[in-house]
Amino acid sequence: MPTMKSITATSIALGLAIAVTLSGCAGGGQAPATDAKRVSGGTIVYGHQQEPACVFGGWIEQAYLSYQVIDNLVSLDANHKVVPWLAETWKPSDDQLSWTFTLKKGVTFTDGTPVDAAAVAYNFDYWLQGGNSTAEVWLQGYYRSAEVVDATTVRINLLKPYPRLADNLTQSYFGIQSEKALTTRSKEENCAAPIGSGAFIVEKWNRGEDIILKRNKNYTSPPANAKHTGAAYVDTIDWKFISDPTTRVATLRSGETNAIYDVPAIEWKNLEGQKYQLLKYVTPGRPQQISFNTAQGPFTDEKVRQAFAYSLNRRQIVETIGRGVIPYEGNGGVSQTTPGYSTKAADLYSYDPKKANSLLDAAGWNQKDSSGYRVKDGKTLEVVLPYGAGSIINADGASILQGVQEQAKAVGFKVKLVPVPQSAFFGGAYSKPAERDLAVGYWTAVNAGILYINWRQSLPDDPNYNNAAFLNDPTLESYILQANSTSDVAEQNALYQKAQDYIAEHALAIGVYDRLSTLAVSPSLKGVWQETAQGGPVFYDAYFVK
Amino acid sequence: MTSLRTVLPAGAASRSILRAAATGLYLSITVLAFFAVAAIVPGLLATHSPTALDLSHSLEGPSWQHWFGTDESGRDLYSRVVYGTRESLAIGIGATAVSISIALVLGSIAALARRFVAGAVNRVIEILFAFPTLLLALLLVAVLGPSAMTQIVAVGIGTAPGYARIIRGQILSAKDSGYVEAAVALGHSRRRILGAHIVPNAVRPLVAIITLSIGQSIVWASSLAFLGLGVAPPASEWGALLDAGRTYITQAWWLIVIPGLVIVTLALAATTLGKHIQNILEKGEK
């Protein structure tokens, strides 16, 4: 039990700790000499924010990891062009109902089995049967079967045309694993150390601490957009989990890590000034947005939803807290880096408290209680906004949500913010219509096809648990389905825009800010880049200089 | 150099120590009075609204306008600290109440019950001792959700076994004391011995423990809030302020140093007062 002495000691220790942190030892930031030479091998110590349950899975944090160990059929280059990876060529049939992929020859998984058509076909069925929740929701309703044509040719048969199939297969949710590993090893083994044909191999997972990835010396299958061929330059990646952003930055500054993920906005300029390489990728797909519960509660009324949108000066909050690093996003459907983005939808609601007040009056919320919150039939306009604290919403995001709460209060909304720990959040807390009025969150994608996942109707025989607004709207769904099956890109984008405009007009969701994937890299580590399907770090081409 | 102590007569030295002690007492009472006012009528002491955004003045250091500076949204930190007092004190006092209540029950049984029951309760206290408070708090947050009440319960249960031990010791020493033996020899009833001799003597040190515990509970609860297991935003409970400020530690020191100092000040004031009360009570015993 602490005594007075121990409290005094704790205070002194706290003071010292603060002093040490503030002094910010800059050891790791020492820039190498201009004539620094490349050194071979070495270990990249990388500080990542979140530790997922498995290496491979349906969350972006898993995609970042599995990208290092598992190759995909195709990759997306910086110009949003699909380029070869395990597949050399691919082509849809004339009726768009089947796609033929021709694989590179001689590629093997790290367990020695070949990357052949049978393995690829097995993986498609594996994802659809729950092997990857995100791959499953992308392909659901479109995928029919995977057929082995010959050893290096696989045909994917579809139920409906899906012209953007190859684009979507660039995301790491569609990584190809060894069939032998999936069928003969335990679930736990495949979870902790999946077998792919990637540039690195999972050696050990020290839960709660780090994952050690060793170089695959026999690597032969880099994607066409990689910067070199053959094995990776470094021997090892020590993928550490450091959840606290301040600690992550401190480890980079002290030289304990060579690269870190998710740089806090406040540190951005400083690190840049200290010669660190800063990388930023605005993830396409669903931005950090707020969806309204349209099934029950006050937001079933469109006027109340619009009032909420007008009550916020989202741009001002995001730009202040985001300090020029986090971009404001007005569109509730997709982010500004997504092909087929609608600026019309993004600009529909600007800060207009007068309009917000008159809409609320018109909706019958015309009384106010002593605290200034609106009241209707004796009920306060209280709305619950839960968020995955530290997992879906980082510290900057949490500050932005407090700004939203305060601004909405000015017109009479009582927003109850509920930070939900990661385990509870992924365990399904606050996922039912009765539990929340607002849902905040992102979903990264490579195109506006993400609208299908987020807005497809949830029907009794075909539920959609990712429809955060609990909205079953056949009109909206028809725009999205039409877009999904349209091959002409311009025509397809126009349809996706129609869907975004519909979401905005009916205030079904509003954008807040764009989700970022950011990296800060020490000056002694070169060649790190962010892959352009999801913004994850690529260490395959990275090397140290001295 | 001749030290001051050798120059001053012995009486003067002890008087100066007493004066210093009295200053400490007055200072701690003043500090606690300030916090009491902040908890009861925060509006009286605050200079701004604790939640009002002022986005054009974000992350400004302490100034005449903002005594403790502003946070990332331009909110006035001094007013947030003032408004956070009620919740912080409620957690401190609430957790102490939970903790002392559990400790009284467990400690009394462990000291007074029959051998078998006392042994079992002692083992329960030991198990609680061995159970990390933080783990217990995590468990409670998972079940009850993060809130001030969860913090109160978690800290209350977590700190109870220490106090239970103290209470058990006090009761045992009172039970074996000369005056209890005398009371037994005089043929007083069990109930009278317990009510008139054991309980008052065993409970007297509790007054001091309670004041000590309030400060310590706030420190404990702050560490939970610091880990994000505390109250929901935008509440400005001090631990939550520390937690929110740590993102900005290298750029805005005031966001973490000032709430930290406030917690330390309160804990020290409560502890100093507790020490004084203990001294007075001990003198009374003599």
Q: What CATH number does residue A398 fall under?
A: 3.10.105.10
- A191 lies in some domain: no
Would you say residue A7 has pLDDT above 50? no
Would you say residue B285 has pLDDT above 70? no
Residues A535 and A506 in one domain: no
Nearest CA in chain B to A15: B257
pLDDT digits (tens, 9 = 90+) for B74-115: 999 999 999 999 999 998 899 999 999 999 899 989 988 888
- Average pLDDT rounded to a whole number, residues A353-360: 98
**Strand positions, DSSP E, B156-230:** none
The structural domain count of chain A equals 3
Domain ranges of chain B: 84-285
Neighbouring-strand partners of residue A337: none
Residues A139 and A214 in one domain: no
Nearest CA in chain B to A394: B247
- A37 lies in some domain: yes
Higher pLDDT, A37 or A346: A346
Nearest CA in chain A to B272: A4
- Average pLDDT rounded to a whole number, residues A132-151: 96
Nearest CA in chain A to B262: A11
E strand or H helix that includes residue A544: strand A543-545
Interchain proximity B233–A266, CB inside 8 Å? no
Q: Which two three-digit tokens encode residue A158?
A: 């579809």
Residues A131 and A182 in one domain: yes
What CA–CA distance (Å, rounded) separates A256 from A258? Answer: 7
CATH of the domain at A532: 3.40.190.10
Interchain proximity B219–A10, CB inside 8 Å? yes
What pLDDT is stored for residue A422 in this prediction?
A: 80
Range of the domain at A240: 1-69+198-282+517-546
- Average pLDDT rounded to a whole number, residues A27-35: 64
Residues A362 and A510 in one domain: yes
Residues A413 and A309 in one domain: yes
**A residues 209-268 closer than 8 Å to B (CB):** 244-246, 249, 264, 266-267
Residues A297 and A379 in one domain: yes
What CA–CA distance (Å, rounded) separates A361 from A374? Answer: 9
Mean pLDDT of chain A: 93
pLDDT digits (tens, 9 = 90+) for A169-200: 999 999 999 999 999 999 999 999 999 999 99
Residues A239 and A267 in one domain: yes
pLDDT digits (tens, 9 = 90+) for A272-305: 999 999 999 999 999 999 999 999 999 999 999 9
**Strand positions, DSSP E, A270-343:** 277-282, 285-292
Residues B84-285, CATH architecture: Orthogonal Bundle (1.10)
Number of helices and strands in chain A (H, E) = 18, 26
- A225 lies in some domain: yes
Residues A373 and A504 in one domain: yes
Pairing of strands A200-206, A210-215: antiparallel
Last residue of a domain, one of A186, A211, A241: A186
Which residues in chain A have Cβ-Cβ distances shorter than 8 Å to B229? 421
pLDDT digits (tens, 9 = 90+) for A482-527: 999 999 999 999 999 999 999 999 999 999 999 999 999 999 999 9
Interchain proximity B53–A249, CB inside 8 Å? no
pTM of the predicted model over 0.80: yes
pLDDT digits (tens, 9 = 90+) for B211-241: 778 877 877 877 777 666 778 778 899 988 9
Pairing of strands A537-538, A367-368: unpaired
CATH of the domain at A76: 3.90.76.10
Which residues in chain B have Cβ-Cβ distances shorter than 8 Å to A395? 244, 247
- A192 lies in some domain: no
Which residues in chain A have Cβ-Cβ distances shorter than 8 Å to B232? 416-419
Inform me whether the C-beta atom of residue A431 falls under 8 Å from chain B C-beta atoms.
Answer: no
Would you say residue A342 has pLDDT above 50? yes
Inform me whether the C-beta atom of residue A76 falls under 8 Å from chain B C-beta atoms.
Answer: no
Of B52, B55, B257, the CB nearest to A317: B55
- A471 lies in some domain: yes
What pLDDT is stored for residue A14 in this prediction?
A: 46
Residues A332 and A442 in one domain: yes
Higher pLDDT, A47 or B133: A47
What pLDDT is stored for residue A30 in this prediction?
A: 61
Residues A509 and A521 in one domain: no
